[in-house]
Amino acid sequence: MAWAAKEESAVHHRVQRDYTVAEKTSLRDLLMRYEREVASKLKSSAVMHYHLARFVDDLGHLRLSGLTPEALTAWRDERLRTVSPATVRRELQTLGSVMTWARKDLLIAMPENPVSAIRLPPAGKARDRRLEEGEEARLMKALGDHSEPTKGAKRAGNYRVGTRNPLVKPVIQFAIESAMRLSEIVSLRWEDVDLEAQTAFLPDTKNGDSRTVPLSKRAVAVLNGLPRSEDEPRVFPVSANAVKLAWRRATARAGITDLRIHDQRHEATSRIAKKIPNLVELASVTGHKDLRMLQRYYHPRAEDLAKKLG
C-alpha cells in the first residue's frame, strides 16, 4: 500500500510539473520552435510558414494552458469573416499538428488538444476548373515569345510580348501531358528520364514515395524539343516561382480568369482518365494514394459495366 501511494504521489507530481510547463510556455515560443525543428524540413514548409505566422500574430501572446477551445472558437469565427472556410480549416489543422507534436514529442502535458475539441469549418468542394474551348490555344500563344502591334500613339509599332523565358511554355505543356506536379517537373533530372521507354522516375514526391511516371508521345516530344547541357542536370532549369509568375502574366494576357497552374494537374488527369479508366492504373500515373480522390475522374456507364460482367 505504501509503495502504491508513493507511486501515485509521484505520478501526481509529474503531471503537475508538466502542466506547469504548459502554463509557462507561450504559444509563440512553441510555434517558432516547431517551425525550426519540424516545419522547415517539410515539402510544405512555405505554406506552413504562413499558417504558423498567422497564429503567432493572432494568438502568440497566449500561454499553452490558455489556448482553450473557447479561445480557438472565437479566433475561428473572427477569421471566417475575412477568408474562406477551407483556408481556416487548413490553418487549424496545422495548429492541431503543432499541439500534437507538443504533447507527444515534447511531452508537454495538456488536458487535450484544443483543436480536436472544436468544430472545423467544412473542407469545401474540390476545384474542377478545366480548360474551356479555345483557352489552351490562347494560353499557349500568351506563353510564347513573339511580337505584336501595341495600342497607343506613344508606342506605335511592334513590341515583344509573351513569356520571354523559353522554358515556361514547355513546362506547362509537359504538365498538361503528364499530370505531374509543378514541384516534380522543375526538379526532374535527365538521368531519371528514359525517352525510349517513355518514363520519368521521381525519387522524391509530395507524399514521400518514389514513382515512375509513364509519358505520352506528346510529353516525350516536349522533352525532345528541349536544349540539353552537360553542366545542367535538370530537365527544366527554372524555379517553380518563376513559372508561377509567368503563368499569372500569361493568363492575364490571354484573358483567362480563375485558372490556376495547379488546375493543369486536374486537366491532365481528366484527359488521361479517358485513356486509362482503371482507377488503380490511373493512380500509378498520377501518384494519388487515395483512390477516392480519383473517383471524380471515373464515370463509367452502367451498360458498359454490364458488358464486362457478361
Catalytic residue (one of 28, 129, 260, 288): 288
Catalytic residue (one of 265, 299, 301, 307): 265
Dihedral angle of Cα 8, 9, 15, 18, to the nearest 10 degrees: -150
Side-chain-side CA neighbours of 93 within 13 Å: the count stands at 12
DSSP one-letter code for 262: T
Which residues, in sequence order, are bridge partners of residue 145? Answer: 162
Query: What phi, psi does 162 have (nearest 5°)?
Result: 100, -170
Catalytic residue (one of 33, 244, 262, 271): 262
* 297 counts as catalytic: yes
* 266 counts as catalytic: no
CA distance 191 to 197: 13
Query: What phi, psi does 210 have (nearest 5°)?
Result: -90, 155
* 89 counts as catalytic: no
Cell, residue 200: 520519368
Encode burial over 106-117: b for 16+ CB neighbours within 10 A, e otherwise: eebbbeebbbee
3-state secondary structure 196-259: CCCEEEECCCCCCCCEEEECCHHHHHHHHCCCCECCECECCCCCHHHHHHHHHHHHHHHCCCCC
Catalytic residue (one of 76, 211, 266, 297): 297
Catalytic residue (one of 54, 181, 211, 266): 181
Query: What phi, psi does 232 have (nearest 5°)?
Result: -125, 110
Catalytic residue (one of 49, 146, 206, 275): 206
* 19 counts as catalytic: no
CA distance 190 to 201: 10
Active site residues: 181, 206, 262, 265, 288, 297
